[in-house]
A and B are shown apart, each in its own frame.
Chain A
């Protein structure tokens, strides 16, 4: 298990075969316009990229699996007219010039590529820039009507394995529904049956009579952060690096006994504490926002397609004394738990929806906060498999744009082989902070496994 460390100055291991457009198999009803919800509009300048890595136990002809995936993608797109449509800005009297999707049946772009080596070798030696070669993205053209909002890339590894990259604009989808898209596609490829087709509709109106909350922290966070325009300077100067860590059992390691805590809460708390120390803050904790899915709160099904994740800042009610780090961790986790179980409730979210609908035209930015995104439940109930022998070995997620803040921690489900409580965390931080975080003994006490290497540096690996 040792491959000699490959340097970053590699020649291009990913070779582009072709770029084409995949359309649905049935023509769509022409001319339908889909409007975006307020959550969609507020996320406009960002985009998401996912890479799914699969290892295969069967050898295949090159191009065979790509062809099969292309066909099943065409069938999947029959249920996603919004994904195959194009953005238009149309004024229709009541609304001003906002984006809408015209379902014109144009399709999504698909890129086919080949890469040398195996998935394992790739994962051991690449960094963020290289990984992004597995997921194609194009910024909006000056003619948005010809710009595809979704890009799918299928890269076959010559010695076995497959990488599927999906990138899309945040205006249409959040990470939850992008992952549901991959799940639907995988189900259709494997079983020829679509088990969780997407649901499209506008956000449901308020259920009970409206009463504005007196202290709506969620709303105040949005009010403040929607008017932030440019990100602070120090973010653009520092080079961001991304690493992936596997935590085998964060709940046990933390020693937390309180019921109702989730692994996400513990891991976000952990990173908050470590990043604060890495930033050199002695008596205060770094600003942190949690990105949480509110579909359940709004009684929406998980297959609701559209943005439904909100950013909630964590407020520290008591002043902080940084003596016992475990106690500090416990305190932060408690504050996070208050947000997820207490402060974030139906009325807070509905107030936000109403405010966004009437007062706000600006997208949200997370400034230089640390953003922790909860995607830990996306591995249930069954893994996303395209074929019987393709095992999902790893999943990477990137969110780019003003909501990325000053650092990201994305908590993802882990492959089934690692135990039900294990989690994979993708951490993106400025390089200086990342080095310090990885050396932090509190982090090391959770026995994380470093799944990737940091570029150009050798790090102690557990």
Chain B
């Protein structure tokens, strides 16, 4: 028995070294090429005596005009290069909202309320219980106060007060952390998919903090759980146009008005998974923020599959048979998410993958398409491109699916799973809670690259690549500060309720 396993083990070890050698060779090809050239030049120089070097130098005939023209050319080319380079956009800091402990909803309370409210449909209550058991959520997730009432009172006033609570608390925290003065905000972007009052939430923020009258404010609604990265993309584009500015992005989802009161099963899922949360982010293109910024934005890729009907209808808000509005999640959500991810990877791969992986992918592509060889499609190893992954905590199934597709280890998806456990699905802000988890665990070092992937209705898959600018000390306050020592926890497949 051990004889059979030994060759496997030694062959897998050999394979690992072969892979490592290949990667090192291809990724550092240019520097590897440069070393022999430099060696040859050095040997040549050493062979020639000092007089020979001086002779070579004098024979170059440096003329004043030539010198001026060539230096002018160099200056011209470098100016054009620097002017046309896109401005670097930095993420100075961000803060995530920590809900008060009095908003906590344990499973038993959630089920009891469901049972008391849906008195006439015990089957729907059973269904919700099964979802909750397998959801990967913990006992500390929070719902807004209006949903705690029996029966819930999702009025507009309550929705506004939830919005004020989550947004203003996150923003106050951001101001404190960064020392930003409200009057210095140049661009404000608020994204909240399902609650869009008049005046908008961004107007509410401007009113509360007395922001400037020439502020560029935007309010994105209806764009689903990936709206956070869409806001980052918008901020980046605006920061290219406006020099020396900063942008504040607020990502949230207001739960109060969207509690589904009917009993259609496919529409009850969001009730079980969505929880209260928000994040406020400060981005800047100022050179002075270069030293204190936490991250630099490297790439942002947006993929929209809305042209395909099946993708378009898979997360659809509609009225059920009784006229109650809810969000219908179709059964092939996972398959559609997988396809959207593939489309996104195809675009982002060439931007981030090292040359070794791209070469392998190219070879496998050529082999399959041109020579029609029966090879399996090569999935590039993204672990070489990134140190950390933040996968939108949409649900346990999404994280499992992505872990399988990208061949990630448990530690890579730990941030996503633990965020789902502690905070539930907080929609667009969940990526920021995950990033905060990684920082709170002290794993974020200078130069680390982070990949944030978000999915949203439509069907969209957006990803952002950040590079850590400075090693981040474990934050003393923040949503994870009181519980980070308990994590990671083991989350069973099914929690017995």
- Are A and B associated in one complex? yes
Q: Measuring CB to CB, which residues of chain A are less than 8 angstroms from any residue of chain B?
A: 18-23, 25, 27, 30-31, 70-71, 74, 86, 104-107, 109, 143, 146
Instruction: Kindly identify which residue among B100, B101, B109, B149 contacts A105, using a CB–CB cutoff of 8 Å.
Output: B109
- CB-based contact B106/A105 at 8 Å: yes
Q: A70-B102, A71-B102 are in contact. Are A106 and B149 (CB under 8 A)?
A: no
Give the complex CA separation of A30 and B116 in angstroms: 22
Q: Which 10 A-B pairs have the closest CB atoms?
A: A106-B108, A25-B101, A27-B139, A105-B106, A104-B108, A20-B148, A146-B112, A18-B149, A74-B102, A19-B150
B140 close to chain A: CB less than 8 A: yes
B115 close to chain A: CB less than 8 A: yes
The bracket for how many chain B residues form the interface is: 20 to 34
B105 close to chain A: CB less than 8 A: yes
**Shortest Cβ distance from B116 into A: residue:** A146
Q: A18-B153, A21-B148 are in contact. Are A107 and B101 (CB under 8 A)?
A: no
B304 close to chain A: CB less than 8 A: no
- CB-based contact B104/A21 at 8 Å: no
- CB-based contact B115/A143 at 8 Å: yes
B445 close to chain A: CB less than 8 A: no
Instruction: Kindly identify which residue among A21, A74, A106 contacts B150, using a CB–CB cutoff of 8 Å.
Output: A21
- CB-based contact B115/A74 at 8 Å: no
Chain B residues near A19 (CB, 8 Å)? 149-150
Closest chain B CB from A61 CB (angstroms) = 15
Chain B residues near A70 (CB, 8 Å)? 102
Q: Measuring CB to CB, which residues of chain B are less than 8 angstroms from any residue of chain A?
A: 100-102, 104-109, 111-113, 115-116, 138-140, 145, 148-150, 153, 496-497
Q: A21-B148, A74-B101 are in contact. Are A106 and B109 (CB under 8 A)?
A: yes
**Shortest Cβ distance from B122 into A: residue:** A143
Chain B residues near A27 (CB, 8 Å)? 104, 106, 138-140
Q: A70-B102, A105-B106, A106-B106 are in contact. Are A21 and B112 (CB under 8 A)?
A: yes
Chain A residues near B149 (CB, 8 Å)? 18-20
Chain B residues near A20 (CB, 8 Å)? 145, 148-150
Give the complex CA separation of A21 and B139 in angstroms: 15
- CB-based contact A86/B108 at 8 Å: yes
Closest chain B CB from A436 CB (angstroms) = 45
- CB-based contact B116/A105 at 8 Å: no
Closest chain A CB from B191 CB (angstroms) = 30
Give the complex CA separation of A22 and B149 in angstroms: 10
Closest chain A CB from B303 CB (angstroms) = 39
Instruction: Kindly identify which residue among A18, A23, A86 contacts B105, using a CB–CB cutoff of 8 Å.
Output: A23
- CB-based contact B104/A25 at 8 Å: yes
Closest chain A CB from B61 CB (angstroms) = 83
**Shortest Cβ distance from A147 into B: residue:** B112
- CB-based contact A23/B106 at 8 Å: yes
Instruction: Kindly identify which residue among A18, A21, A30, A143 contacts B113, using a CB–CB cutoff of 8 Å.
Output: A21
**Shortest Cβ distance from B148 into A: residue:** A20
Closest chain A CB from B125 CB (angstroms) = 10
Chain A residues near B101 (CB, 8 Å)? 25, 74
Chain B residues near A18 (CB, 8 Å)? 149, 153
Give the complex CA separation of A105 and B111 in angstroms: 11
List 17 other contacts, CB 8 Å, given A106-B112, A146-B112: A18-B149, A19-B149, A19-B150, A20-B145, A20-B150, A22-B102, A23-B105, A23-B106, A25-B104, A31-B496, A71-B100, A104-B106, A104-B107, A105-B109, A106-B106, A109-B150, A146-B111
Provide a sorted-by-A list of 19 A–B residue pairs whose CB atoms are within 8 angstroms: A18-B149, A18-B153, A21-B109, A21-B150, A23-B105, A25-B104, A27-B104, A27-B138, A27-B140, A71-B100, A71-B102, A74-B101, A74-B102, A104-B106, A105-B107, A105-B108, A105-B139, A146-B112, A146-B115
- CB-based contact A25/B148 at 8 Å: no
Closest chain B CB from A65 CB (angstroms) = 15
Chain B residues near A86 (CB, 8 Å)? 108
Closest chain B CB from A182 CB (angstroms) = 19
Give the complex CA separation of A450 and B69 in angstroms: 110
The CB with the most chain A CB atoms within 10 A, among B104, B149, B497, is that of B104
**Shortest Cβ distance from A73 into B: residue:** B102
**Shortest Cβ distance from A141 into B: residue:** B116
